[in-house]
A = this chain, B = another copy of it.
Amino acid sequence: MTISPLALPFPALDAVAGVRIGTASVTYKNWTRDCVTLAAFIPGTAVAGVTTRSKCPSPEVELCRANLAGGRARGLIVNAGNSNAFTGLSGRQAAQAQAARVAERLGCSPAEVFSASTGVIGVPLPVDLALAGVDLAHAALGNGDFLAATNAIGTTDTFPKAATAAAMLGSTRVIITGIVKGSGMIAPDMATLLGFIFTDAAIAPPLWQAMLTAAVANSFNAITVDSDTSTSDTVLAFATGAAGNAELTSMDDAGADALAAALADVCRQLAILVVRDGEGASKLIEITVTGAIDDASARTVALSIANSPLVKTAIAGGDANWGRVVMAVGKAGEPAERDLLSIRFGDTLVASQGAVVPGYDEAPVAAHLAGSEILITADLGLGAGRARVWTCDLTHGYISINADYRS
């Protein structure tokens, strides 16, 4: 697999106190790499999560939803190569059996175990491999090799993706570190992909959930690779409390703002990394819509642009075909006035008031499009609503990956 031209280096990551990680190989697919990841948390760890809005979720997603109500986590088990989605009763039993084995190994309740699987849909998780994976990964538990874990949760990812940030809670410094896998079947508004976030901060589960929900809205839910939404999308965030700060219970507590900001920063970094590894991506595209009647309307328009195959192929071709942006604004179904619309590529105003600008010079736009980070701005001229989303271009690579993925 060719590494994405938009790849960034894996960051240096410290261990997160209270988190142990182990990985193992059990060949759900014909991979020699590790494909099972176990994380173990100290007692009292708070958990928050956001899962897919798919009407056909995997049993792992259902287990997460049920257990999130408790707000506490001791274990996380992740399988790569098999999503266990749409696998009926046997899939549900396999997920439950694996979670039970994790609980047994960690000496906790199955209600404190969180599960995620990713890969081909429709093939039941082989329960013997799933249980063996727990045992092997448990034997390998160590103080947090995030690179190994990131590699072990991936599927079509071409590079490992992680982000980290720190915050001061009063006099206590805490860290937040997240890992994520993409890289197709990525669309917003339904939660997202698989992302796992770890902090040593002490925080009450309801506040942690509120922070995560807010962070996801402007990160994982503001990206799209192909408009498709996985049946397994899950973001889970674990807060061990090992840093020893007084437990945060309200946004008014000292440092809560800082922790929320750090979480938002990590989520945004991770989300953009997913787009950077979008299947076949050669360019990262940031789309900003301003002047909409409200933020929600701006988001719909931004996603209409981001999901347009014609916009995405134009960017792939380095083609300043701003007419396709007009098309995508027009089809979004949101309030828009052709004769108030303006469009920028990079810093260059290309069109305004319903027509190309007088004396339009395509040269600076072409130069911008020759780069690997593309900015498109559409101002609707109607109000104060704004939104920003990220996507990638649509290339031959996407077709190659997805017309021949399963075989």
Contact = CB atoms under 8 A, between A and B. Distances in A.
Nearest to A335: B55
A57 B328 contact: no
Interface string A334-365: 11111101000000000101111000000000
A164 interface: no
A383 to B, nearest CB: 15
B402 A88 contact: no
Contact of A356 (B57, B122, B190, B335): B122
Given A56-B341, A185-B327, A355 B396 contact: no
A336 B56 contact: yes
Interface in A279-337: 307-310, 313-314, 316-317, 319, 321-324, 326-337
A191 to B, nearest CB: 11
A313 B398 contact: yes
A85 B355 contact: no
A54 interface: yes
Given A56-B329, A329-B55, A330-B56, A184 B310 contact: yes
A324 B230 CA distance: 9
A404 B314 CA distance: 7
A228 B327 contact: yes
Interface string A383-406: 000000000001110111011111
Contacts of A231: 323, 326-327, 330
Interface in A32-58: 52-57
A222 interface: no
Nearest to A336: B55
Identical chains in the assembly: 2
A226 B341 CA distance: 24
Given A86-B354, A326-B85, A329-B55, A313 B399 contact: yes
A90 interface: yes
A402 B52 CA distance: 31
Interface band, chain A: 35 or more
Contact of A319 (B122, B187, B405): B405
Majority SS at the chain A contact face: loop
A87 interface: yes
Given A88-B353, A317-B407, A331 B228 contact: yes
A92 to B, nearest CB: 9
Contacts of A120: 321, 323
A313 B403 contact: yes
Contacts of A313: 398-399, 402-403
A89 interface: yes
26 contacts: A54-B327, A55-B331, A55-B333, A55-B336, A56-B327, A56-B338, A86-B338, A86-B351, A86-B355, A86-B356, A121-B326, A122-B355, A124-B355, A226-B310, A227-B308, A231-B327, A309-B398, A313-B403, A314-B402, A314-B405, A317-B402, A317-B403, A319-B403, A319-B406, A396-B399, A398-B399
Interface of A: 52-57, 83, 85-91, 120-124, 184-185, 187, 190, 226-231, 307-310, 313-314, 316-317, 319, 321-324, 326-339, 341, 351, 353-356, 394-396, 398-400, 402-407
